[in-house]
Amino acid sequence: MPETKKPEGRFVKGSVLVDYVKLMRASPQLPWGDHLSPADLEQIQQMILPASWYPIELFQRLGLAVFKLLSKESFEVVRSFGRFLAEQMNANNPGLVVKGRPRDTLNKYQVIQDRLLSYKAVEIKEQGPGRLIFQANFLPQDVAIQLYMEATAGTLGRLIEFSGGRNVRARLLEGMWQGGNSNTMEVTWEEP
């Protein structure tokens, strides 16, 4: 049963799971059971409540299953999904995008992320005009860190473009899945 008030520990809001669940339900013929536990499958058969909290491990396993079965392990598809998420965020959050001010848009993005995760999962550190460091605070055993970083690169890039930034580039500096101590990405762009 999902939590309704912000729990201690590592949880995500149901609204984060909804897109994955929709993708899975649209492709019932795929072998989801090869990638998800019976408890996971039972959970996603129930109604996912957008305002309730779910274990982050469920979110990660769903993301990994979608990556393997639907995107055919293409990181380009994962970045495109991140861009799609930015478009959804923009449509559902009037005022998110500040035209001509990518930095303000990204600050609002961080506030949204802080509301969707029960712990401080995201840090955006300004590094001067047209440059930031993005850090995702996940654990080494988390199964979907690389997917999260790739999707986030797409999301940040699209939000910067919406704000007027051009020639956006995201470059991984360090990843725990590669043996690093953190999950850190540099994002650069030309200011409007």
What is the pLDDT, as a whole number, of residue 125? 94
Given this model, what pLDDT does residue 175 score?
94
Measured between alpha carbons, how far is 40 from 47 in angstroms, rounded to an integer? Answer: 13
Are 59 and 115 found together in one domain? Answer: no
Which residue reads 């909290």 in tokens? Answer: 53
Q: Which of 24, 43, 69 is the last residue of a domain?
A: 69
Q: Which domain holds residue 149?
A: 82-190
User: Which residues, given as ranges, of the chain have pLDDT below 50?
Assistant: none
Which residues sit opposite 122 in a β-bridge?
Answer: 136
| Overall number of domains in the chain | 2
The predicted structure's pLDDT at residue 139: 85
Q: What is the pLDDT of residues 18-62, one digit of tens each?
A: 989 999 999 999 999 999 999 999 999 999 999 999 999 999 999
31 backbone dihedrals φ, ψ, rounded to 5°:
-80, 65
Give, rounded to a whole angstrom, the gap between the first and last alpha carbons of the chain.
47
What are the E-state strand segments in 51-158?
Answer: 53-55, 122-126, 131-136
For residues 87 and 179, membership in a common domain is answered with: yes
